[in-house]
Amino acid sequence: MSLFTHRAYWRWSAGVQFARLPATMAPLAFTLLTTATTGSYRLGGVLMSVYVAAEMVCAVPVGRLLDRVGPARGLPVLLLLTAAGFAVLAFAAAAAAPGAVLLAVVLLPGITGGALSGGFRTLLADTVDDGLLPRAISVDAMILDGVLVGGPALVALLDMAGSLVPLAAMAAACVAAALLVPRRAGERERVESGHDVPPVGLVACLPWLCCAFTIGLLTSTIEVAPLPLVQRLGASETAAPVVIAVLTGASIAGSALYVWRGKIGDPRLFLGGFVVGGLVLAADLGWAGLIASVALVGVCGGPLVAATSVNLQRVLPKNRRSAGFSLSFTVQSAGFGLGSLAVGVLPLWLPPLFGVFAAAIAGAMLVAKPARAIGTMSVTS
C-alpha cells in the first residue's frame, strides 16, 4: 500500500498535528494573554518556562503510564485532561487571578502534555508497516515544519478576537486530537501487552538519544540566532527571516528526498553534514558560508530525525516505547534549550561548535556498533 493512500496513517497524522499545535501556539499565546490581563509580558515567558519544565519532568513517568494502559486507550484521556488544563488557565486569567495562581494552573497541561508525542509515535509503529515507516516519519517531519510556522500565525490571527481565544483554540485542538487517536492499534496492543519484555538497556538507546540531543542543540543555534547571524554580516534585522526560510526549506527538501528514496540511510552521513555545517557556521565565512551552512544543517536535519526515530524503535521493547520516545523528545528539547542558552550568553561563534562536538560524539558511538543499528528496515528488526 502507498503511504499517500494509507487512510490510517493520515488519521494518525491529523491527530498528532492537532496534538502538537498547542505547544507551537503556547509561547505567543501565553505572552499575549498575560500582557492583556496583567500588563506583564514577562509573566508570559515565565508561564512558558514552567509549562515546558512540567512537560520535560513528567514526560517519561507519564509515558510509562501510557505503556501500561496502551497509547490507544491512554492518549484520549491525556488529551482531554490537557484540554481541560488550558480551559482552566483561560478561566483563571479571565477571573484576573494573580500570577502565582496562573503559574500553578499552567502545570496542569504541562504534566499531561509531555508524553503526547511519545504516545503518538508509539502508535505509528502499529499504524504503518515497517517498510513504510521511514517515509511516514519523513512526511510527518515535513508537515511538522508547517505546524511550527502556522501555530504562532494562528495565535496572532485569533488574538484579534480576544486574548483568551487562542487558549480556547488550544483546548479545542486537544479535543480534536483525542477524537482522531487511531483505535485499531488498540487491538494489537491488547494482544501484545500480555508478553512482558525486559527493560532495554540505556547503552543500546544512548547513541540515538545523543542524535536527538544533537538535533536540538545545533538547530537551536540557528533558529534562535537569525538576527545576530545577519547582523554579524552587517545586514539589517529585516534579513533575519531569510535564515529561517533557508533552514525550513532545506529541511523540507531533505525530508522530501528521504521520502522519495524510502530507505533509512546511514545516520553517520547526516551527522557528518551537521559537523561540516556547524564548522562553517562558526567560521563566519560571509553570506555564502551562512547560507550554505544553514542549508546543509537543514537538509541533513529531517533525514537524521527519521533515521534516529526508526533506529530507536528497533532497540525499544514494545512495552517501553511510549516512555522511550518521550525520553527522546525530552532529550531533544533539552538540547534545544541548552543551545538557546548558549546563544544568549556566549560569543556567537562558539555555540555551533557545541553542536559539532555532540554530532561527532554521536557518530563515534555509531561507529562502535554500526551493524546492529544501521541499515535497511526489516520485518524481524
- pLDDT, residue 202, reads 62
Q: How many whole angstroms separate alpha carbon 207 and alpha carbon 86? A: 36
381 pLDDT above the threshold of 50: no
- pLDDT, residue 201, reads 54
User: How many whole angstroms from its chain centre is CA 148?
Assistant: 10
Q: Is the pLDDT higher at 302 or at 372? A: 302
Among 105-109, 293-297, 368-372, the minimum mean pLDDT is found in 368-372
Among 48-52, 195-199, 202-206, 220-224, the minimum mean pLDDT is found in 195-199
> What is each CA distance from 314 to 24, 105, 118, in whole angstroms?
29, 38, 15
194 pLDDT above the threshold of 50: no
- Whole-number percent of the chain with pLDDT over 90: 47
Amino acid symbol at 161: A
Amino acid symbol at 102: L
Dihedral in degrees, nearest 10, Cα atoms 252, 258, 261, 267: 160
- pLDDT, residue 185, reads 52
Across 103-107, 311-315, 338-342, which has the greatest mean pLDDT? 103-107
- pLDDT, residue 37, reads 85
- pLDDT, residue 377, reads 39
For the chain, the average pLDDT equals: 86
Q: What is the pLDDT of residues 110-138, one digit of tens each?
A: 999 989 999 999 999 888 887 788 888 88
- pLDDT, residue 264, reads 65
Average pLDDT of the segment spanning 313-325: 86
Residue among 325, 305, 330 at smallest CA distance from 67: 325
- pLDDT, residue 135, reads 84
Query: Residue 195: which region, alpha, beta or left (left: phi > 0; alpha: psi -120 to 50)?
Result: beta
DSSP label of 38: T
- Whole-number percent of the chain with pLDDT over 70: 90
- pLDDT, residue 302, reads 87
Amino acid symbol at 277: G
Among 8-12, 135-139, 192-196, the minimum mean pLDDT is found in 192-196
| CA–CA–CA angle 376, 271, 310 (5° rounding) | 35
- What residues contact 275, with CB distance under 8 A and at least 6 apart? 356, 359, 360, 363
Q: Are 206 and 51 in contact (CB under 8 A)?
A: no
372 pLDDT above the threshold of 50: no
Average pLDDT of the segment spanning 148-153: 86
pTM for the full predicted model: 0.80
Q: Is the pLDDT higher at 278 or at 49? A: 278
Q: How many whole angstroms separate alpha carbon 332 and alpha carbon 153? A: 24
Amino acid symbol at 184: R
Q: How many whole angstroms separate alpha carbon 114 and alpha carbon 65? A: 12
Q: Is the pLDDT higher at 171 or at 227? A: 171
Q: Are 165 and 94 in contact (CB under 8 A)?
A: no
- pLDDT, residue 210, reads 94
Average pLDDT of the segment spanning 223-235: 88
323 pLDDT above the threshold of 50: yes
Question: CB-based burial of residue 234 (10 Å sphere; 0-12 exposed, 13-18 middle, 19+ buried)?
Answer: exposed
Average pLDDT of the segment spanning 178-192: 65
